[in-house]
A and B are shown apart, each in its own frame.
Chain A
Amino acid sequence: MSAERRPAGAAAPLLHVDNVSRHFGSLVAVDRVSLTIAPGELRAIIGPNGAGKTTFFNLISGFFPPTSGRILFAGTDVTPMPPERRVAMGMARTFQITEVFPELTVRENLRIPLEVAAGKRLALRLSAADDARIEARIDELVAMGHLEARAHRPVNELPHGDQRTTEILTALALSPRLLLLDEPTAGMGDQETYDITRLIRRLHRETGLTIALIEHDMRVVFHLADRIAVLAEGALLGEGTPEEIARDERVQAAYLGEEVHA
């Protein structure tokens, strides 16, 4: 383990991943990874294919439990909690392969998380005031994603980039404290990549939202990230500012597939 240890800053970490591993049979997908993310940070997680990045996100968000280790979110041990409880605590995520409600419109896709976040998931009716509040929030989110013209169309009729934007907006609808984005620009063209990158940066800069993202596009990573963590073969290879990571020989080696003598 070559993770550099950082003294905890003034702020308590929002996310603290403590020596977490996940085994699938004999495969060690995530190998004793420790990581902290401070409030307001934008953290990128990079690594070659099969490095365990998505597995790592799945452990944080509760998709499956770790084989060992603990995950603390806002000071609470969330390791045994199912995903929906982590969501209730303020953790939202998107997926590598777009997960939306395909036959529903953009507005309906956004209404559902807004109602859930307002504690109305079991409600049989909404008061006019609640409904107006939710409609206003939908308008805001739609404007944020520049989807005004298509907000009334079923999501499966929209181009891929708009579907991914919709998914990010559904996560934002929960007003999360931590947003996990799994390859937000996957499968996107240059213009779409640019738009999403701008949206993420705006969220981070304007609202101070804490974001962790997995990304393959290095332009996006170096443009956005405050800090970068590098995973390779399930283990944390290095951590640091974009400049530090760019200089790190082991990181370059991992990407180029060379032998490393650490």
Chain B
Amino acid sequence: MTRLEKPALTAFVWLALLTMPWWMNAIGGYTELASRVLVLGLAAMALNFLLGYTGVLSFGHAAYFGLGAYGVGMMIKFVVPSTPLGMLVGVATGTVAAAVLGLLIVKLRGVYFAMVTIAFGQVFYFIAFRWNSVTGGDDGLTGWKRQALDLGFTQVDLLGNDRAFYYFLLFVFALAVGAMALILRSPFGRTLVAIRENERRARFLGIPVERHIWLSFVISCFFVSLAGTLYALLNNFVDPRALRWDQSGNFVIMAVLGGMRSFWGPLVGAAIFVVLQDYVSSHTENWMSFVGLFFVLVVLFFPRGVMGILARRRATDATKEGA
């Protein structure tokens, strides 16, 4: 618990992420695909902060993902053409919404919590869908683009240079993931794991469980809003599907697929999801059936996800060495 992952694995993940634009091209992908892995991976890791480390299932995280996305898009389109300012507004919008709605749902547990998070998520979806004049409705929010990043001494062209944008995403991803790891390794992070492990024991050891679940929910939604702003910047476009319930479901699938008990699991799940989607959807429209089949197989045979398989192999190896 004091260490989230083995240092060797963490080093390997960072090395893979730093070199992804190269090897992604080598295996038939493209830089934008690498960027999608990073953005959706961040969203899945943010969801897993709540799901895997607090033990609370939200099926409505797309709402805050979408609010972040619309926030940055509308800020750049209507107010001021600045990427960082747009992101700030997007993240603030998603986080404030989560803080308010979170107060209404922290008393709920299990499937009731999940259902109410879906319901709130769908409210935002219908607002984005109906409010044509502002959000562009079903056609989505168009007519804006991510802006070059002004660092004072130089400008980074995020729009024209795919690789520059990828490393901008990786920089934000690293800050976010570093912050999540810091929180999870802290005494506060341990209270969240305590709640996941045994809510009753946690409460009777003096942890105000509802308040801590609320904090975890808000932190998780902060990071998923951040992922949403990056998603909008990546596409130069937002549409209501970004905050629909099936997007929330995709985050859950990524987290479970990769392994909820592993810090990097959801990133691995997102990578599999994104690559599978890209590859299969170029052959058939029914790509989701393949992802679904893969998901069912993993859940049935490897309930701890892909990272769980690896952990188990390590464990058996260790036993063999010991024998």
Chain B 29-43, CB-CB to A under 8 Å as 1, else 0, gives 000000000000000
Q: Are B200 and A95 touching (Cβ within 8 A)?
A: yes
Contact of A122 (CB < 8 Å), options: B182, B188, B198: B188
How long is the Cα–Cα vector from A117 to B207 in the complex, in angstroms? 10
Does A16 belong to the interface (CB within 8 Å)?
no
Binds B, one of A97-105, A138-146, A241-249: A97-105
Query: Which residues of B sit under 8 angstroms from A120, Cβ to Cβ?
Result: 187
Contact of A126 (CB < 8 Å), options: B187, B198, B202, B206: B187
Contact of A121 (CB < 8 Å), options: B188, B193, B204: B188
What's the minimum C-beta distance from A134 to chain B, rounded to whole angstroms?
9
Query: Which residues of A sit under 8 angstroms from B193, Cβ to Cβ?
Result: 101, 104
Does A236 belong to the interface (CB within 8 Å)?
no
Given contacts A108-B1, A115-B187, A126-B187, whether A93 and B204 have CB atoms under 8 Å apart is yes
Chain A 75-118, CB-CB to B under 8 Å as 1, else 0, gives 00000001110011000110100011111110010011101110
How long is the Cα–Cα vector from A82 to B203 in the complex, in angstroms? 9
Interface centre among B190, B191, B205, by most A CB within 10 Å?
Answer: B205
What's the minimum C-beta distance from B121 to chain A, rounded to whole angstroms?
28
Q: Are B198 and A112 touching (Cβ within 8 A)?
A: no
Q: Are A112 and B194 touching (Cβ within 8 A)?
A: yes
How long is the Cα–Cα vector from A93 to B209 in the complex, in angstroms? 17
Query: Which residues of B sit under 8 angstroms from A167, Cβ to Cβ?
Result: 201
Interface centre among A82, A111, A124, by most B CB within 10 Å?
Answer: A124
Q: Are B206 and A88 touching (Cβ within 8 A)?
A: yes
Query: Which residues of B sit under 8 angstroms from A95, Cβ to Cβ?
Result: 200-201, 204
Does A61 belong to the interface (CB within 8 Å)?
yes
Query: Which residues of A sit under 8 angstroms from B188, Cβ to Cβ?
Result: 121-124
What's the minimum C-beta distance from A121 to chain B, rounded to whole angstroms?
5
How long is the Cα–Cα vector from A171 to B204 in the complex, in angstroms? 9
Given contacts A100-B198, A124-B186, whether A113 and B205 have CB atoms under 8 Å apart is yes
Chain B 171-208, CB-CB to A under 8 Å as 1, else 0, gives 00000000000110011101101100110111111111
List the B residue with the shortest CB-CB distance to A95.
B200
What's the minimum C-beta distance from A133 to chain B, rounded to whole angstroms?
13
How long is the Cα–Cα vector from A122 to B1 in the complex, in angstroms? 17
Chain A 149-175, CB-CB to B under 8 Å as 1, else 0, gives 000000000000000000100110110
Q: Are B201 and A84 touching (Cβ within 8 A)?
A: no
Given contacts A115-B187, A116-B191, A174-B206, whether A124 and B201 have CB atoms under 8 Å apart is no
Query: Which residues of B sit under 8 angstroms from A124, Cβ to Cβ?
Result: 182-183, 186-188
Given contacts A87-B205, A104-B1, A124-B186, whether A112 and B200 have CB atoms under 8 Å apart is no
What's the minimum C-beta distance from A194 to chain B, rounded to whole angstroms?
26
Majority SS at the chain B contact face: helix
Given contacts A99-B201, A104-B1, whether A117 and B206 have CB atoms under 8 Å apart is yes
List the A residue with the shortest CB-CB distance to B201.
A99
136-189 of chain B: CB within 8 A of chain A: 182-183, 186-188
**Interface size bucket, B side?**
20 to 34
Query: Which residues of B sit under 8 angstroms from A82, Cβ to Cβ?
Result: 208
What's the minimum C-beta distance from B119 to chain A, rounded to whole angstroms?
27
Q: Are A61 and B204 touching (Cβ within 8 A)?
A: yes
Query: Which residues of A sit under 8 angstroms from B190, Cβ to Cβ?
Result: 108, 111-112, 115
What's the minimum C-beta distance from B31 to chain A, rounded to whole angstroms?
35
Does A261 belong to the interface (CB within 8 Å)?
no
Q: Are A104 and B207 touching (Cβ within 8 A)?
A: no
Does A5 belong to the interface (CB within 8 Å)?
no
Query: Which residues of B sit under 8 angstroms from A87, Cβ to Cβ?
Result: 204-206
Query: Which residues of B sit under 8 angstroms from A83, Cβ to Cβ?
Result: 203-204
Does A6 belong to the interface (CB within 8 Å)?
no
What's the minimum C-beta distance from A214 to chain B, rounded to whole angstroms?
15
How long is the Cα–Cα vector from A82 to B191 in the complex, in angstroms? 18
Contact of A84 (CB < 8 Å), options: B183, B194, B208: B208
Query: Which residues of B sit under 8 angstroms from A117, Cβ to Cβ?
Result: 206
Query: Which residues of A sit under 8 angstroms from B202, Cβ to Cβ?
Result: 101, 112
How long is the Cα–Cα vector from A55 to B197 in the complex, in angstroms? 24
6-61 of chain B: CB within 8 A of chain A: none
Query: Which residues of A sit under 8 angstroms from B205, Cβ to Cβ?
Result: 87, 92, 112-113, 116, 170-171, 173-174
Query: Which residues of A sit under 8 angstroms from B197, Cβ to Cβ?
Result: 100-104
Q: Are B191 and A112 touching (Cβ within 8 A)?
A: yes
Chain B 262-276, CB-CB to A under 8 Å as 1, else 0, gives 000000000000000
Beyond known contacts A123-B188, A125-B187: 6 more, CB 8 A cutoff: A99-B198, A116-B207, A120-B187, A121-B207, A124-B186, A124-B187
- Which residue numbers of B lie inside 8 Å of A, CB to CB? 1, 182-183, 186-188, 190-191, 193-194, 197-198, 200-209, 212
21 contacts between A and B (CB under 8 A): A61-B204, A83-B204, A84-B206, A84-B209, A95-B200, A100-B197, A100-B198, A101-B194, A104-B193, A113-B206, A115-B191, A116-B205, A116-B207, A121-B207, A122-B187, A123-B186, A123-B187, A123-B188, A125-B186, A125-B187, A174-B205
